[in-house]
Amino acid sequence: MTLLAFDWALFIEKLVLIAVVIFGSLGIALYSTWAERKVAAFMQDRIGPNRAGPLGLLQPFADGAKLIFKEEIIPNSANKWLFILGPGMAMTAALITSAVIPWSSHLEIAGRIMPLQVADVNIGILYIFGAVSLGVYGIMIGGWASNNKFSLLAALRGASQAISYELAMGIALIALLMLTGTLSLKEIVEQQMAPGHYWNIVYQPLGFLIFIVCIFAECNRTPFDLSEAENELNMGYHQEYSSMKLGFYLFAEYVNMFVASAVMATLYFGGYDVPFLNESLLSPNVAALVGIIALMVKIVIFIFIFMWVRWTIPRFRYDQLMELGWKKLLPLALANMLITAIVILWLQHK
Amino acid sequence: MGITAIVFWILSALTLFSAIMVLVSKNPVHSVLWLVATFFSISGHYIMLNAQFLAIVNVIVYAGAIMVLFLFVIMLMNLNTKTEMKKNLWMKLGGVISGGMLLWILISVVRTYAEQSKGHPKIASVNTGEIGLIKNLGHVLFTQYALPFELCSVLFLSAMVGAVVIGKKN
């Protein structure tokens, strides 16, 4: 049996890791909905959800149960298969990005080294870019299959927005790549951890600013949530959806937010690096645990920034959105790339 | 049959099935989505050849950008079977002839290769080739093939300028 000539231990290890990452992402997304309502309430001087459990902590489960038990309606004139496929694609595209994120260094269990990253591919950043560019399919298919003109308009808006902001995002990333010289996320984190080296945000502040604005646009978060602008489009691309399909769309947004925060923390803020601490002095398992906690703290801070912005800045108009993307961010990203390249060349030939 | 062979056969079946579905689907939106599935399975083949860079660029450029624009246009035009243009007979005949000639060339390429490499056949290097990795590919592109690479970028630039000029007319 040649089939058995296969590293089954590795297979099981990766399977467990994937399960933990997916359920972890979903769990954090679940509680992001609670946090969003609490943050909104805090900003508007209200109390927020406080009935289900202490501090309203059981509210997400109540919401989930409600969504599952609601009646599910598929419109008569909708394209049935694509209508069902849409929310699934939105969720899949949101989750697959998590495969290349290094959650921490590595665990050592019974002499076996277990890296806490599903796949350390040498094209990590490009993989993220690919996964982001697929995120638009969920919105487009759902909006078109609903056979509703408001949904279709919202879907087209969402698609053109995503394509426009991908450009500036890609160019901001190229400047980062020139600096790191590698596409592997693990190596990028290790470079930032090395003594005498600072986090990438120190070298690329403008690049990070462009990147975070583009991430907001790609995640469809306010101020760029043009595809669900209630006042002009009734509700947006998920208008015809009900029950858990609607839940999937709303939930995918929070998963996206979580994964995007992890990406930003990894690329610009040292990933699982704890500042002013030499991890190599700790035993591997303790270092891994400390690393996970550090990364999670950074992610939570980013998720809070997402919510802070949402409840502070009003939505852009569509022409303002396009102008910001094409006429401001793109030239800025190009200038950033050129300056980075010149400085790197100058430092090499000094 | 090792695990690589099993994955290869599954991927090939998926590629062919989705490619056929692109042609068979009545609804243009379905065709586009099947085409996206085809690109994904071809990317799977690239990964099996250890060409990770090609695989992901295939997904980013074709599935992520070009197909989204296709979908965009098809959704805006809202094509359905009623408004589909009737193509005349000559057009169909031309299509059959040019398609057949393309098939002819492809078959002849495979056959000449098989005849030339008789006795010591070269098999695609699965999981071992190094040239598909981004480091080696970049090195080759910017040294050995620097001129064609730059010419390609000029071609793209001129295509972009052309598109802008056409768009500005109205």
Residue B147 confidence (pLDDT):
92
Question: Which among A2, A137, A156 has CB closest to B75?
Answer: A156
Please tell me the least confidently modeled range out of A132-136, B23-27, B113-117, B137-141: B113-117
For CA atoms A163, A167, A170, A176, the dihedral sign is negative
Q: Which residues of A touch B59 (CB under 8 A)?
A: 130, 133-134
Q: What is the span of the domain harbouring residue B116?
A: 3-132
pLDDT in tens, B76-94: 776 655 655 667 888 889 9
- Number of structural domains chain B divides into: 2
Q: Is B69 on the interface with A (CB under 8 A)?
A: yes
Q: Check whether residue B125 and residue B140 sit in a common domain.
A: no
Let me know: does A123 contact B51? Beta carbons within 8 Å.
Answer: no
Max CA separation in chain A (angstroms): 70
Nearest-neighbour CA in chain B from A133: distance (Å)? 5
A30-49 pLDDT, tens per residue? 889 999 999 999 889 898 88
Q: For the CA atoms of chain A, what is the radius of gyration? A: 21
B96 and B155 inside one domain: no
Question: Residue A156's pLDDT is what?
Answer: 85
Query: Are residues B40 and B81 both part of a single domain?
Result: yes
Residues B117-143 pLDDT 10s: 776 666 666 666 677 778 888 888 888
Q: Are residues B125 and B153 in the same domain?
A: no
Residue A174: count of CB within 10 angstroms of its CB: 18
Nearest to B60 among A82, A129, A162 (CB): A129
A3, A130, A160 ranked by CB distance to B64: nearest: A130
Sign of CA dihedral A99, A105, A106, A107: negative
* Same-domain check for residues B108 and B37: yes
Instruction: Tell me the range of A6-20, A214-228, B140-154 where mean pLDDT is highest.
Output: B140-154
B115 and B57 in one domain?
A: yes
Contact B134 A123 (CB under 8 A): yes
* Nearest-angstrom CA–CA distance, B97 and A85: 38
Do residue A134 and residue B27 have CB atoms under 8 angstroms apart? no
Residues B9 and B68 in one domain: yes
* CA atoms B105, B107, B108, B110: torsion sign: positive
Number of H helices, E strands in chain B: 7, 0
Answer whether B62's CB lies under 8 Å from B38's CB: no
Dist CA A279 CA A54 (whole Å): 37
Instruction: Using only the alpha carbons of chain B, give its radius of gyration.
Output: 20
Interface confidence, given as ipTM, is 0.82
Q: What is the pLDDT of residue A131?
A: 86
Q: Which residues of B touch A163 (CB under 8 A)?
A: 65, 68-69
Q: In the prediction, which pLDDT does A14 show?
A: 85
CA distance A221 to A236: 13
Q: What is the CATH number of the domain that holds B55?
A: 1.20.120.1200
Closest residue of chain B to A125, computed from CA coordinates: B56
Residue B125 sits in the same domain as residue B145: no
CA A195/CA A26 separation, integer angstroms: 35
- pLDDT at position A1 is 42
For the ranges A234-238, A291-295, B20-24, B122-126, the lowest mean pLDDT is seen at B122-126
